[in-house]
Amino acid sequence: MKVELIAYTPTASGVCCDAAAICTDSNNGYRSLQHSLASGHESVLEHAVFTFRVEGISRVTLAQFTRHRLASFSVQSQRYVKLEDPELIVPESIRSSAFAAEAESSMRYMLNLYKRMVEAGIPAEDARYVTPQAVPTSLIVTLNARELRHFFSLRCCNRAQWEIRKLADEMLKLCKKEAPILFENAGPGCIRGKCPEKRSCGNPRSTQEWE
């Protein structure tokens, strides 16, 4: 998996501070922003946007990612881009199990079937129906800071699936580097106090993990 922050609002923190200040006619944007976030008035964060290039995530994780609807996605097309010999993304739980060889063989068989179907004249957009969800994809995604914080609260949680948690962790590291004020306490609920999950993992995370 490769994650890059390729574009973002140049003065992201400043814009959000200005937005918070104008709401209360304040001369202290930073203090206004802190007050806004503490009171749940997070709309001021929507003025800052961040764009990422993501490569090498599975179609499983893509399906989870696109459930976050307040985001803009441009995804590599399986209609126009034919699969050659993709490096499959397989969970460690399968790789280390007695099913590893069988799973690998089954997925490679389906990819070979896909290739033969395309060579026989079946459109790639139809042949793709037989491909496994372990096939990797690439995308460009843009989210505003408010939606990013929501995304991190859900997907940086230990109870999130490993691959999307890894994606969220990498994105949060990049965001904290470029806009530390906006993402100072971003992440799962456990870093801000009590775990909000119905069933806690019992292993709270630390903000140092995203430094």
- CA 109, 115, 120, 126 torsion-angle sign: positive
φ/ψ (deg, to 5) at 162: -55, -40
Answer whether 65's CB lies under 8 Å from 151's CB: no
Helix or strand (DSSP H, E) at 49? strand 49-58
Rounded distance between C-alpha atoms, residue 75 and residue 99, angstroms: 31
Axis crossing angle, helix 162-178 with helix 145-155, rounded to the nearest 10:
140
* Active-site residue identified among 128, 146, 149, 155: 155
Residue 155 bears catalytic tag: yes
Residue type, 125: E
Of 139, 146, 186, 137, the residue nearest 50 (C-alpha): 146
Which residues participate in catalysis according to the annotation?
A: 155
